[in-house]
Amino acid sequence: MGAITRRNVLAGGVAVATALGVSACGGPGSANRSGGSGDGQPVGGTSSSPSASARPVSLIGDGSMADTGPQPFQPVPEKLQPGQRPPQFVVFSWDGAGEDSKKLFSHFRSVAQEVKATMSFFLSGIYVLPEGKKDLYLPPGHKPGASDIGYLADEHVKMTLDQVRGAWLEGHEIGTHFNGHFCSATTGVGTWTPSQWRSELEQAIGFVEKWKTNTGYTDMEPLPFDYRKELIGGRTPCLLGQNQLLPTVADMGWKYDASSPGGLQMWPGKTPQGLWNFPLQSIPFPGHSFQVLSMDYNMLANQTGGTPNGDPSKRPYWQQQSYLSYMAGFNRAYTTNRAPFFIGNHFESWNGGIYMKSVEQALRDIAGKPDVRLVSFRQLVEWLEVQDPAVLAKLRTLNVGQKPADWREYTTPQPV
């Protein structure tokens, strides 16, 4: 892609050579919604989402979760018609996905309602574990309770549970960002074995399955889903350790993984383990000859070297630059090969919150375009899996920025 190599540093001190930037995670940050697509075309559901108490409830375990039936507001995936140009899928995903005093989880749920978007929220398991019970967490290679991200205040644990409950009822996906977010080169997630990943993931699931026992909040409604069954994908901390993770999650029935850094804006394929591979993508970075990963931290890393408190006088420029980068990535796919576009962010306030403003502006602008589908990774998987495999294989031959002369060549199944 003609990119110039830059050397950036992951949170935790891992240096990587890349033209795309690096990934790290900060701390965490309601409205009813009708399922829909970016151009306002409905995809099922009504204009309000039912509460858990309005649905049949079958409690699971200690009552932290409940089987309340199928998730509301899910689109019915449709097979491409011969010669049809694919819709432009865009997935906005959020690493950590906790609610704190910034209230960014609830804010972006409200934005999603306004623009008829569905998103993927990757929950950090320790965000539903009170700090007073942190020794229940046994991170691989670390002492009990250790974490490179902070535990939430008890009040914010409650708020996070409310947001997760509401988000699922509105049709959003609840994935995982695992637990302690270790990025160290010696003991971080990049060094973990498949069995260590299994322990980490079982604990992340377990904290959700037993949040009532661990918190004592027995008067709160259960989460309206079985997390072990709902969980089909996630993103690793620091975008590290995917190769060792994949055998474990394939065995646990995952359908996709979104942990790979440096993907290209091309149609996705599957890993050797059979999971859909949804990487963060390299997108144009205005003012530079290299590209950047489609995530807020990667913008930050290239703008300030990773410091979250850069020069205030430059923040308006950085905000506009990150917005234009997202839009350049979107427009490159939208006007050419229609490859699904992936944006991954955090609920953070780096550089005065400029990245929250830029990604919201991009979300609103993208939502206004015709033939856009703002979906979760889970919904994208379901769409991909009803397509003709030969058509998907042909779509994967389209390079970055390659516009077909005739879509019939790519979306018309060939006779056997």
Give the model confidence (pLDDT) of 245-266 as tens digits.
Answer: 999 999 999 999 999 997 999 9
Of the CATH numbers 3.20.20.370, 3.30.710.10, 3.30.300.180, 3.50.50.60, which one belongs to the domain with range 6-52+59-403?
3.20.20.370
Question: Averaged over 165-188, what is the pLDDT?
Answer: 97
d(CA 100, CA 299): 23
Residue 53: pLDDT above 70? no
Residue 204's nearest CA partner among 155, 245, 262 is: 245
d(CA 33, CA 31): 6
* One-letter amino acid for residue 305 of the chain: G
Residue 1: pLDDT above 80? no
Q: What letter would DSSP give residue 19?
A: S
Average pLDDT score over the chain: 89
What confidence category does residue 413 fall into, taking pLDDT thresholds of 50, 70 and 90? Answer: confident
Q: What is the pTM of this model?
A: 0.89
Phi/psi of residue 246, nearest 5 degrees = -60, -45
DSSP string, 306-330: T-SS--GGGHHHHHHHHHHHHHHHH
Question: Averaged over 279-308, what is the pLDDT?
Answer: 97
* One-letter amino acid for residue 393 of the chain: A
Q: What letter would DSSP give residue 354?
A: H
Question: Averaged over 362-380, what is the pLDDT?
Answer: 98
Question: Token match 């990757």: residue?
Answer: 122
CB environment 261-290: b (16+ within 10 A), e (fewer): bbbebbbbeebebebbbbbbbbbbbeeeeb
Residue 187: pLDDT above 50? yes
Residue 52: pLDDT above 90? no
Residue 51: pLDDT above 70? no
